[in-house]
Amino acid sequence: MFAHTNIPEAPWFTVEADDKKRSRLNCISHILSKIPYEDITPEPFELPPRKPSIGYVRPPKNEQFFVPQVY
């Protein structure tokens, strides 16, 4: 499979996985190194004044789902 699908436009990479923790970190590092990063900080902007809330009633908390606070 590698011989027929490993092309310059879509290369295959093999991860040495004897040590799972290090192999995962190496894989993440490799993937991130392939992404071209550039500063894309947006220009500051001004928001218009907020409109007053009219007639909004929050639903009861027991009907909502919350993400657990782990940290």
What is the C-alpha to C-alpha distance for residues 59 and 8, in angstroms, rounded to an integer? 55
Domains of the chain by residue range: 1-38
| pLDDT higher than 90, residue 66 | no
**Tens of pLDDT along 43-63?**
999 999 988 888 888 888 888
User: What confidence score (pLDDT) does residue 71 get?
Assistant: 65
pTM: 0.49
**Tens of pLDDT along 1-34?**
778 888 888 888 888 889 999 999 999 999 999 8
17 Cβ contact list (under 8 Å, min separation 6): 23
Phi, psi of 7 (to 5 degrees): -120, 160
